[in-house]
Amino acid sequence: MQRVYMDYAATTPMLPEVAVAMQPFFSQRFGNPSSIHSMGQEGRDAVETSRGQVAGLIGCQPADVVFTSGGTEADNHAIKGVCLAGRERGNHIITTAIEHHAVIYACNFMKTLGFDVTVAPVDRDGLVDPADIKKAITGRTLLISVMQANNEVGTIQPIAEISKITREAGVYFHVDAVQTVGHLPIDVDKLGVDLLSASAHKLYGPKGVGMLYIRPGTRILPLLHGGEQENERRAGTENVPGIAGFGKAAEIASRDMAKEADTLTAYRDKLIEGILAQVGDAYLNGHRQQRLPNNANFSFDFIEGESILMYLDSEGICASTGSACSSASSEPSHVLTSLGIPVERARGSVRLTMGRWTTEGDVDKVLEALPRIVGKLRAMSPLIKERCGWINYL
Ligand SMILES: *Cc1c(COP(=O)(O)O)cnc(C)c1O
* 9 CA closest ligand 1 atom index: 15
Q: What is the pLDDT of residue 389?
A: 47
Number of folded domains that form the chain: 2
- Given ligand 1 and candidates 176, 183, 184, which is best to mutate, with the most ligand atoms within 8 Å of its CB? 176
**How far, in Å, is the centroid of ligand 1 from the Cα of 71?**
5
**How far, in Å, is the centroid of ligand 1 from the Cα of 325?**
9
- pLDDT digit string (tens) for 15-57? 999 999 999 999 999 999 999 999 999 999 999 999 999 999 9
- Given ligand 1 and candidates 73, 96, 105, 178, which is best to mutate, with the most ligand atoms within 8 Å of its CB? 178
Closest CA to 197 of 182, 175, 223: 175
Q: Note whether 188 and 326 are same-domain residues.
A: no
- pLDDT digit string (tens) for 188-230? 999 999 999 999 999 999 999 999 999 999 999 999 999 999 9
**How far, in Å, is the centroid of ligand 1 from the Cα of 383?**
35
- pLDDT digit string (tens) for 276-299? 999 999 999 999 999 999 999 999
DSSP letters, 346-361, are HHTEEEEE--TT--HH
CATH number at residue 272: 3.90.1150.10
Residue 241 dihedral angles phi and psi, to the nearest 5°: -60, -45
pLDDT band at 382 (very low <50, low <70, confident <90, very high): confident
Asked if pLDDT for residue 394 goes beyond 50, the answer is: no
Q: Note whether 136 and 243 are same-domain residues.
A: yes
Q: Note whether 232 and 332 are same-domain residues.
A: no
**How far, in Å, is the centroid of ligand 1 from the Cα of 94?**
19
Residue nearest ligand 1's atom 3 by CA? 71
Residue nearest ligand 1's atom 5 by CA? 71
Note down the domain range covering 108.
Answer: 16-253
The mean per-residue pLDDT over the stretch 167-192 comes to: 98
Q: Which of 83, 107, 318, 325 is catalytic?
A: 325
Residue nearest ligand 1's atom 10 by CA? 71
**How far, in Å, is the centroid of ligand 1 from the Cα of 30?**
28
Q: Which helix (H) or strand (E) holds 71?
A: helix 71-85
Strand partners, 195: 174, 214
pLDDT band at 275 (very low <50, low <70, confident <90, very high): very high
Residue nearest ligand 1's atom 15 by CA? 151
* 70 CA closest ligand 1 atom index: 7
Q: How many CB atoms lie under 10 A from the CB of residue 177?
A: 28
Q: What is the pLDDT of residue 1?
A: 81
Long-range pairs, 370-373, Cβ under 8 A, ≥24? 370/275, 370/279, 370/308, 370/312, 371/275, 371/278, 371/279, 373/308, 373/311, 373/312, 373/315
Closest CA to 371 of 275, 243, 305: 275
Q: Note whether 201 and 335 are same-domain residues.
A: no
- pLDDT digit string (tens) for 58-84? 999 999 999 999 999 999 999 999 999
- pLDDT digit string (tens) for 88-136? 999 999 999 999 999 999 999 999 999 999 999 999 999 999 999 999 9
394 located within any domain: no
Q: What is the pLDDT of residue 390?
A: 45
pLDDT band at 384 (very low <50, low <70, confident <90, very high): low
**How far, in Å, is the centroid of ligand 1 from the Cα of 207?**
10
* 75 CA closest ligand 1 atom index: 10
229 located within any domain: yes
CB 28 within 8 A of CB 240: no
393 located within any domain: no
Q: How many CB atoms lie under 10 A from the CB of residue 50?
A: 29
Give percent above pLDDT 70 in the chain. Answer: 95
* 199 CA closest ligand 1 atom index: 7
pLDDT band at 329 (very low <50, low <70, confident <90, very high): low
Q: Note whether 243 and 261 are same-domain residues.
A: no
Asked if pLDDT for residue 324 goes beyond 60, the answer is: no
* 324 CA closest ligand 1 atom index: 1
**How far, in Å, is the centroid of ligand 1 from the Cα of 390?**
44
Residues 6+ positions from 329 with CB-CB distance below 8 Å: none
Q: Note whether 179 and 327 are same-domain residues.
A: no
The mean per-residue pLDDT over the stretch 179-195 comes to: 98
User: What is the Cβ-side half-sphere exposure of residue 130, based on CA atoms within 13 angstroms?
Assistant: 13
Q: What is the pLDDT of residue 328?
A: 53
93 located within any domain: yes
CB 77 within 8 A of CB 68: yes
Between 1-10, 205-214, 326-335, the lowest mean confidence (pLDDT) is in 326-335
DSSP letters, 102-151, are HHHHHHHHHHHTT-EEEEE-B-TTS-B-HHHHHHH--TTEEEEE--SB-T
Domain ends where: 228, 253, 278? 253
Summary mean pLDDT of the chain? 95
Q: What is the pTM of this model?
A: 0.96
| Annotation marks residue 388 as catalytic | no
CB 208 within 8 A of CB 70: yes
Q: Which residues line ligand 1 (CB under 6 A)?
A: 70-72, 75, 100, 102, 147, 151, 176, 178-179, 199, 201-202, 210
